[in-house]
Structure 1
Amino acid sequence: MRSTATPNLLQPLPPISISPRNPSLLAHNSLSNLPKRTLDITCASKRSPDDYHATLKTLNSRGRRPRKSLGQHYMLNAEINEQLVASANVEEGDLVLEIGPGTGSLTNVLIDAGAIVLAIEKDAHMAALVRERFADTNRFKVLQEDFIKCHIRSHMLSMLESMGSLSEKTRYAKVVANIPFNISTDVIKQLLPMGDIFSEIVLLLQDETALRLVESSLRTSEYRLINIFVNFYSDPEYKFKVPRSNFFPQPNVDAAVVKFKLKQAVDYPAVSSTKSFFSMVNSAFNGKRKMLRKSLQHICTPVEIEEALQNVGCLATSRPEELTLDDFVNLHNSIVRV
């Protein structure tokens, strides 16, 4: 059994060698008309990776214990962090959003990969810890906010604007994060419609959630509204499983990494109104055990719904878990008048 005994003092961070450089990062085209305020970025030598003992030392040195109310489970395996970063194909000059940096173990790997990191941390103590830890680099900024309530679009646009347009190649920001399991659905709902800002989102999720998001099949109890949402806005991919033994404190479930490749608006399914589409799908799944001719009768008559279902190749008695994303798109375009 691995010992959990740790020294009382933190090991000092290795010295950082700074040399000037110019990043090659272009903000999204929507920012092209904004005034350019160039953000000078410097590159640093590689930092020592965080491991099991380093993470516990950091927490012990501050007298911090993981807070269950915040869903805090700290990563103890540096290799997992490296695989997270590799899954997002993080390159020199990429702007990366991290949600819940904690002790900064993943942040450390992101900066080593050449990323400029914007971190959102709800816990004021942990925000102060990572702000102090990475004070010697201008590749890191932390905001002490609740991610679910913060204006992330505004924050990202501000960061992209400050970087300016330094090449003709358009590049988007990325998200790489080990998020609390209890906010995973809220995070996904907030981020996936932001394909104009993010190209890829790589999240460490509860394994059961990861499987449900990526692999849920029609006609099963696991097929839900969130599956329609995820596939409308992205192409999800289950990357790899992470055993629960890699976290402190150890959760009751295993985790997994999922990569969402975000779609651009022009690639979304062709619906007359995204708002009315998801309103219809939400109504369908709110009455999951009901036939659609019953749960959607506030939109049009049951007879019209039956006819529309048959016209798109579905049974008149269909229930929501029997329809694919394309089926819902075709049904919406048949019965919803915007």
Structure 2
Amino acid sequence: MIEPRKTPPPVPLLGAGDIRRLAAELNLRPTKTLGQNFVIDGNTIRRIVASAQLGAFETVLEVGPGLGSLTLGLLDAAERVVAVEIDPVLAAKLPATVASWRPERTEALDVVLADAMRVTHLPRQPTALVANLPYNVAVPVVLNLLERFPTLRSGLVMVQDEVADRLAAVPGSKIYGVPSVKAAWYSSMEKAGTVGMNVFWPAPKIASGLVRFTRREPPATTASRTEVFAVIDAAFAQRRKTLRAALAGWAGSPVLAEQALRRAGIDPTARGEVLGITAYARIAEAKAAATTAG
């Protein structure tokens, strides 16, 4: 008789008791300002890592590793982890936690004490971004990192569920807006699931969402990213108005806005929520061409 193959037990990850013990050692009280909600459930960590679809040779950028819950899971799946942490106490503790829980992987971790909104240099070029991001800065952090580190080819971020929906929204939907369009400049984004509140300590008051992205080339255009993003900001500043009216200030007048829109092949009576990133690039390019010609 052939005995059934035994499944090896999962590699241990930090649980609720471990997280609270580490926090007590550091005399740490999670702050809302830094968006410190630590994952205390190992199965959630495994789910996040699996959803990120990491290759064995990835160098993963993790923003806000906190007490190391996700860091350990990422070290199990990827070749290296570069962890960017703004809190000096947490940044100093992370290597010791990894040494205790994954002693064979200590050399695979780089810890960078920095604000992810301002970091310009990393010790290694990251190929993937996987992070549990603070709700209040999630969108600007994602956009900033995609802009600063072109080697980021894919990733998965956990954000406020509503933000996850907006990042993955498509033109024409009610929640489509500035985050949706700007994210599309860099990548395709899709919702990869939701995460309940009870897997965090302290528990947030709202659910979280997982967003997976794959980088792609921006639209072919002679307009710069800054010029295209200026059109997007103007269009959604008054999203209930037609593009002719909403872009009047950006173009210089309603007449000039209409001229740019028609030159770009866009109906001036349309609203910004129906346009994709390529259309916004055409509008920016049309205005730049008109300025040059003038």
Within-5 A mapping of 1:1-338: 48-135=12-99, 136=103, 137-151=106-120, 154-155=121-122, 158-160=123-125, 173-194=127-148, 196-215=150-169, 217-218=171-172, 220=174, 222-263=175-216, 267-274=217-224, 275-297=226-248, 298-299=250-251, 302-310=254-262, 314-337=266-289
Structure having the larger proportion of residues in helix = 2
Number of residue pairs matched? Answer: 274
TM-score by length of 1: 0.74
Question: Counterpart of 1:228 in 2: which secondary structure?
Answer: helix
Q: Which runs of 5+ in 1 are unaligned?
A: 1-45, 161-171
Whether the 8 Å contact between 2:223 and 2:285 is mirrored in structure 1 is no
Following the alignment from structure 1 to structure 2, what is the Cα–Cα distance between the partners of residues 235 and 217? Answer: 13
Following the alignment from structure 1 to structure 2, what is the Cα–Cα distance between the partners of residues 328 and 92? Answer: 37
Higher normalized contact order (CA 8 Å, seq sep 6+, divided by chain length): 1
Which AA in structure 2 matches 1:143?
Answer: V
1:234-289: CA deviations, max 9, x gaps? 000111110111111010100011011111xxx31122122222222222223334
Compute the displacement of 1:115 (Å).
2.7
1:107-131: CA deviations, max 9, x gaps? 1111122431111111122112112
Compute the displacement of 1:150 (Å).
2.0
Please say which of residues 206-215 and 277-286 is displaced more in the overlay: 277-286
TM-score by length of 2: 0.84
Give the alignment's Cα RMSD to 1 decimal.
Answer: 2.3
Compute the displacement of 1:301 (Å).
5.1
Following the alignment from structure 1 to structure 2, what is the Cα–Cα distance between the partners of residues 139 and 301? Answer: 56
Whether the 8 Å contact between 1:233 and 1:268 is mirrored in structure 2 is yes
Following the alignment from structure 1 to structure 2, what is the Cα–Cα distance between the partners of residues 296 and 114? Answer: 45
Following the alignment from structure 2 to structure 1, what is the Cα–Cα distance between the partners of residues 87 and 149? Answer: 28
Which AA in structure 2 matches 1:150?
Answer: V
Compute the displacement of 1:55 (Å).
1.8
Which AA in structure 2 matches 1:74?
Answer: F
Compute the displacement of 1:313 (Å).
5.3
Question: Counterpart of 1:90 in 2: which secondary structure?
Answer: coil
Cα distance change on mapping 1:325 and 1:52 into 2, 3 Å: same
Following the alignment from structure 2 to structure 1, what is the Cα–Cα distance between the partners of residues 55 and 276? Answer: 36
Following the alignment from structure 1 to structure 2, what is the Cα–Cα distance between the partners of residues 280 and 256? Answer: 28
Following the alignment from structure 1 to structure 2, what is the Cα–Cα distance between the partners of residues 306 and 214? Answer: 29
Cα distance change on mapping 1:209 and 1:114 into 2, 3 Å: closer
Following the alignment from structure 1 to structure 2, what is the Cα–Cα distance between the partners of residues 93 and 322? Answer: 39
Which AA in structure 2 matches 1:225?
Answer: V
1:58-97: CA deviations, max 9, x gaps? 2223332212221100101111111211222223332111
- Identity across matched positions, percent: 28
Question: Counterpart of 1:134 in 2: which secondary structure?
Answer: helix
